[in-house]
Amino acid sequence: MAAPRRDTRGIVDAAELFARVDFRRREPAQPLRPYLEHYWLIDWELTQPYASHVVPHPSVNIVFQRFEGQEPFAEVAGIGLGLFTQKLEGKGRVCGIQFRPGGYRPFSPDRPVSEWTGKRIRLPGTDPAPVLTPDDEDARVAALDTYLLSLGPRPDPQADLAMTLVDRIRTDRTIRRVTDFARSEGMSVRLLQRLFAAYVGVGPKWVILRYRIHEALEHAETDRAVDWAALAADLGYADQAHLVRDFTATVGVPPTAYATNPAASRSGTP
DSSP 49-90: -EEEEE---S--EEEEEEETTS--EEEEE---SS-EEEEE-S
CATH second-level architecture of 11-150? Sandwich (2.60)
Task: State whether the Cα torsion 72-17-56-106 is positive or negative.
Answer: negative
What count of Cα atoms within 13 Å lies in the side-chain half-sphere of residue 270? 8
Q: 136 pLDDT band (50/70/90 cuts)?
A: very high
**What pLDDT is recorded for position 241?**
94
**What pLDDT is recorded for position 173?**
85
Q: 163 pLDDT band (50/70/90 cuts)?
A: very high
Its CATH class, for the domain covering 157-267, is mainly alpha
pLDDT digits (tens, 9 = 90+) for 75-121: 999 999 999 999 999 999 999 999 999 999 999 999 999 999 999 99
Query: How is the chain split into domains, by residue range?
Result: 11-150, 157-267
Q: For residue 69, what are the contacts with CB-CB under 8 A and spacing of at least 6?
A: 90
pLDDT digits (tens, 9 = 90+) for 6-62: 788 899 999 999 999 999 999 999 999 999 999 999 999 999 999 999 999 999 999
Average pLDDT of the residues in 119-125: 94
**What pLDDT is recorded for position 267?**
52
Helix/strand/coil for 221: helix
> H-type helices in the chain, by residue range?
14-20, 129-132, 137-150, 157-171, 178-184, 189-199, 204-222, 228-234, 240-251, 255-260, 264-267
pLDDT digits (tens, 9 = 90+) for 214-270: 999 988 887 777 899 999 998 888 899 999 999 999 998 898 888 887 776 655 443
CA–CA gap between residue 156 and residue 81 (Å, rounded): 26
